[in-house]
Structure 1
Amino acid sequence: MLTKTFGSAVQGVNAYTITMEVVVTAGTNFYVVGLPDNAIKESQQRIEAALKSRGYRMPRTKVVVNMAPADIRKEGAAYDLPLALGILHASQQLQTEVLDEYIIMGEMSLDGELRPIRGVLPIAIQARKEGFKGFILPQENAQEAAIVNNLDVIPVSTMQEAIDFLEGRLEIMPVRIDTRDIFEHAANKYSADFADVQGQENIKRALEIAAAGSHNAIMIGPPGAGKTMLAKRLPSIMPPLTMQEALETTKIHSVAGKVGAGAGLLSARPFRSPHHTISDVALVGGGSNPQPGEISLAHNGVLFLDELPEFKRSVLEVMRQPLEERRVTVARAKVSIEFPANFMLIASMNPCPCGYYNHPEKECVCGPGVVQKYLNKVSGPLLDRIDLHVEVTPVTFDQMTETRKSETSQDIQIRVDKARQVQAVRFQEFPDIHSNAMMPSQMVKDICLISEAGRQLLKTAMERLGLSARAYDRILKVARTIADLAGTEDIEIQHLAEAIQYRSLDREGWAG
């Protein structure tokens, strides 16, 4: 008897329906064909033990499973449940007429208990698109799948529950959640707030500009000056995620297995802070079965690289293209997968190995040329792609003990939102552009118009600092964002002057 069950394979951030054809005939042995990996080939032992523990039998005849389409690689143990149900149906131990109405996925333990799987959200989206009635999956993944409406999400904790449901002996109510209500209640909830930061007003201003225009920034200062603390609070002043952004972000985290058990839609902007020992594949994504890297997990949020010069040169250089294109393409011999990577890069670094170059009180003990050598660990092309270079100075005792309350993240976010609304109107005819930082060079010429006095100021700065053409564009984009925050239509000379001062590392003689 031929039986068909349906599962799904995830490639990149998209899912593809897999048809599992099971036939039980005369003969011996268990065969799985259709590009399965070792985890799927080993499923025979898990399935046999699970069936026996629940009072069913593994057919002692020839069992052939074909996983179609055969040219897509199938990986992982998430096919255990559909394979087990297909074998039971093909051997007439499962009596049901609705097996082909559901996408079924789940990893089984030896006693038939189900374990959570990854990639649930893209699978649910594809199931709804292809007209399946529902999705039978492990209990822990139900909230995540229920984000997708018009699809019956059937949570089961054991193989037996799935069998009883399909045979009509057990009624399981589909999981329903009000996605918008949950999203609105959970959105914009952050534990860290700028109100906790005493002093550092110039750094707060720079991060406000960065958030308003989605600009990349780097903070240079001695240890203990507050660079990491300030960076961690950046998501709290960024505009709240839209529903579309939340779905995109959750989809990526689902594929990577980063959505916690029982969790649903991600409502806060991601903040990723990888250690400096990270490999280039872990940062940008890849592997034999390509998985999203840290820059994709930071999509619609912040990627924070602490102690930037300590990262391997090769790791930093692979970021150059994603910073420009806001996506990562992982190419393999048989497949090319694209991951979104629209993130804000925030980096921090000490000015020298000892950390006290340009410190107002402590003396730098680094030898001649050491400071420049340390800074050269970060390449010029990468610095060109960072809009704001901000010098962070230590907080004084008086600032630390000041009783006056600092401005809250909510207050700053209101100004950031207003600037983003101006940009939304400006770029409403360009669906791929959402902020000033995303403007291509041609658009910069049309939108970032400056007066003759501003042009002369910029010319002088370019000549003295030896800025590149890319840095010229960056200054104009930052000036445009400063003007948006100020609520002015034109870029005025003070906006341009402030933008120029955020190119610290381009300044001749900065490192001695």
Structure 2
Amino acid sequence: MAVARTRSVALVGVTGRTVEVEADVGNGLAGIHLIGLPDTALSEARDRVRSAVVNSTYPWPDARIIVSLFPASLPKRGSQFDLAIAVAILGAAGVVPAERVAEPFFLGELGLDGRIRPVRGVLPSVLGAAKHGDAMVIVPSANSAEAALVPDVKVVPVATLRQLVEWLRNGDETPEPQVEEGAEPPSTTTDPAVDLADVVGQPVARRALEVCAAGGHNLWMLGPPGTGKTMLAERLPTLLPDLELDHALEVTAIHSVAGVLPPSAPMMNRPPFVSPHHTATAAAIIGGGSTIVRPGAVSLAHRGVLFMDEAPEFPRHVLDALRQPLESGRVTVSRSAGSVTFPARFMLVLAANPCPCAQAEDQGGTCKCSPTVRRRYLGRLSGPLLDRVDMKVTVARASRRELMADRQFAESSATVAERVLVARERAAKRLAGTPWRTNAEIPSSVLHSDFRPSPKAMKPMTSCLDSGTLTARGLDRAVRVSWTLADLADKECPQEEETTAALHFWLGVTS
């Protein structure tokens, strides 16, 4: 009887957990048995592994094979364990030295001909392996660029099972990566095709967009179609600075788990922009799945922008599901197999028409909707949700004269992005030594203890708070916006001018 051990990684959300793979080749009725809570895809690994080994011209043990995945209480899902299972069996059968396969981590799906196919979630898996220190990870060649993003980990790319076995047999030289024909070289640069200068006639909305980008705030735009709401939202990412390294790794890991990471850009260094259709389900927005829990739109928009166009058309329960991630910056999906937590720190941008017919009353509009219909339509955006939106802007149709006059004042994304970067640097300097980097992330307790403006500056807000116009949560939101306005104005602390402007933005008053 011979036993060989190796290691792989199981994903729980975006967290990698080490799995020890043991193979026992001994006496008994020939066959292979998998134990350790495998799912259907993993149970089918028996046939894939056997065909891959035989077609790679290695002998298949004519014996009873037991493969154990430890810890046995952790559900194992997916096909990324194929390579570890095959190597453990070959080690137990004496085809490769058992001592050489004990320490590395093996990730990859096997084809029937022995090719090693790419798998999703390689980056968080390698991050999980890196917790052990001085780790060596064997990955498919197609995933090598993604795996190489993790520092202090030796990544060994392999294309076929035979290439891997010969390397394990013969020496320590890393096998040469094999590039498939027609494969594009990795790229981490992006060239935005849109620019804020394309939007004219909406100076208040453009200013609101700049404030949102500088502080990480949420925005609601209300107005008839054709006024530029979608154009403005699509140009918000062009105002944001590049992601810092730790944030870029977070975003890349989420997109890798979701299987939407572009193969030509293994590192996502730009804030993502996610715009789901209004027919999306709650599971598509929040995350979910019957067997494997996948991140939803709120997690795919982590450190970026979640844009919900025609927001009242979304089901109300879907919109209300946004309230928890907007407050906590993460979302927990609970299923019968357990709970999974995904990060979800995003900027929410809502766009809505004033009524179902979407016809403006001003400038010759023909809206026939009654006040009751309008109220019911916009009532789909609940008060608790709008209470969590920092800024509200009404976008009206502009006349031809206004469009022509405003064109000379429309600034490019690069110009506004410079001011946003300076404001963010001021906020980061003020928040140095804390886990927060933008004004929108400051919790309420710290906001009113360490970053509360002077009583004179707070007077407009406290008056609205006393009259009931402003809620306690709205007060927090408005104070955070006032700090962002002060950063843009190069002031040390918000003055009455900034708090008044922030209050108007929260109330939706444009004048």
TM-score (norm 1): 0.90
Please tell me whether the aligned partners of residues 467 and 506 of structure 1 are also in contact (alpha carbons under 8 angstroms): no
The answer to whether residue 400 in structure 2 is matched with residue 397 in structure 1 is yes
1:386-444: CA deviation from partner (whole Å, max 9, x where unpaired): 0101111234434656764731112111211222122112222322x222222233333
CA distance in structure 1 between the partners assigned to 2:460 and 2:127 by the alignment = 53
**Alignment-derived partner of residue 8 in structure 1:** 9
C-alpha displacement of 1:456: 4.8
Please tell me whether the aligned partners of residues 203 and 392 of structure 1 are also in contact (alpha carbons under 8 angstroms): yes
CA distance in structure 1 between the partners assigned to 2:385 and 2:371 by the alignment = 25
Q: 1:395 to 1:56 in 2, by over 3 A?
A: farther
The answer to whether residue 45 in structure 2 is matched with residue 24 in structure 1 is no
Aligned sequence identity (%)? 39
Please tell me whether the aligned partners of residues 439 and 480 of structure 2 are also in contact (alpha carbons under 8 angstroms): yes
**Alignment-derived partner of residue 180 in structure 2:** none
1:365 pairs with one of 368, 386, 390: 368
Q: Which runs of 5+ in 1 are unaligned?
A: 176-184, 508-512
CA distance in structure 2 between the partners assigned to 1:148 and 1:445 by the alignment = 39
CA distance in structure 2 between the partners assigned to 1:134 and 1:473 by the alignment = 47
1:358-379: CA deviation from partner (whole Å, max 9, x where unpaired): 4433231213411111010110
C-alpha displacement of 1:258: 2.1
- Which stretch shows the higher mean deviation, 463-472 or 140-149? 463-472
C-alpha displacement of 1:171: 4.7
2:272 pairs with one of 244, 247, 270: 270
**Alignment-derived partner of residue 147 in structure 1:** 149
2:305 pairs with one of 295, 302, 315: 302
**Alignment-derived partner of residue 494 in structure 1:** 497
Q: Which residue type is aligned with residue 163 of structure 1?
A: V
1:30-69: CA deviation from partner (whole Å, max 9, x where unpaired): 2100111111111122122222322233323211000111
Q: Which residue type is aligned with residue 414 of structure 2?
A: Q
**Count of residues paired in the alignment:** 496
**Alignment-derived partner of residue 182 in structure 1:** none
**Alignment-derived partner of residue 470 in structure 2:** 467
Please tell me whether the aligned partners of residues 285 and 297 of structure 2 are also in contact (alpha carbons under 8 angstroms): yes
CA distance in structure 2 between the partners assigned to 1:52 and 1:359 by the alignment = 75
RMSD of the TM alignment (CA)? 2.5
Please tell me whether the aligned partners of residues 152 and 174 of structure 1 are also in contact (alpha carbons under 8 angstroms): no
The alignment partner of 2:491 has SS state of coil
The alignment partner of 1:78 has SS state of coil
1:203 pairs with one of 189, 202, 205: 205
Q: Which residue type is aligned with residue 193 of structure 2?
A: S
C-alpha displacement of 1:144: 0.4
**Alignment-derived partner of residue 425 in structure 2:** 421
TM-score (norm 2): 0.90
Q: 1:52 to 1:429 in 2, by over 3 A?
A: closer
1:437 pairs with one of 424, 437, 440: 440
Q: 1:490 to 1:26 in 2, by over 3 A?
A: closer
Q: Which residue type is aligned with residue 9 of structure 2?
A: S
Q: Which runs of 5+ in 2 are unaligned?
A: 178-186
Q: Which residue type is aligned with residue 413 of structure 1?
A: A
C-alpha displacement of 1:97: 4.2
C-alpha displacement of 1:246: 0.8
C-alpha displacement of 1:497: 2.8
CA distance in structure 1 between the partners assigned to 2:352 and 2:6 by the alignment = 54
Please tell me whether the aligned partners of residues 285 and 296 of structure 2 are also in contact (alpha carbons under 8 angstroms): yes
**Alignment-derived partner of residue 340 in structure 2:** 337
Please tell me whether the aligned partners of residues 188 and 265 of structure 2 are also in contact (alpha carbons under 8 angstroms): no
Q: Which residue type is aligned with residue 290 of structure 1?
A: V
The answer to whether residue 283 in structure 2 is matched with residue 281 in structure 1 is yes
CA distance in structure 1 between the partners assigned to 2:265 and 2:502 by the alignment = 41
The alignment partner of 1:377 has SS state of coil
C-alpha displacement of 1:242: 1.0
C-alpha displacement of 1:496: 2.6
1:322-344: CA deviation from partner (whole Å, max 9, x where unpaired): 11111122344564432211111
Q: 1:261 to 1:164 in 2, by over 3 A?
A: farther
Please tell me whether the aligned partners of residues 161 and 170 of structure 1 are also in contact (alpha carbons under 8 angstroms): no
The alignment partner of 1:75 has SS state of coil
- Which stretch shows the higher mean deviation, 360-369 or 30-39? 360-369
Please tell me whether the aligned partners of residues 458 and 499 of structure 2 are also in contact (alpha carbons under 8 angstroms): no
**Alignment-derived partner of residue 166 in structure 1:** 168
CA distance in structure 2 between the partners assigned to 1:259 and 1:331 by the alignment = 25
Please tell me whether the aligned partners of residues 103 and 132 of structure 1 are also in contact (alpha carbons under 8 angstroms): no
**Alignment-derived partner of residue 377 in structure 1:** 380
**Alignment-derived partner of residue 247 in structure 2:** 245
Please tell me whether the aligned partners of residues 163 and 175 of structure 2 are also in contact (alpha carbons under 8 angstroms): no
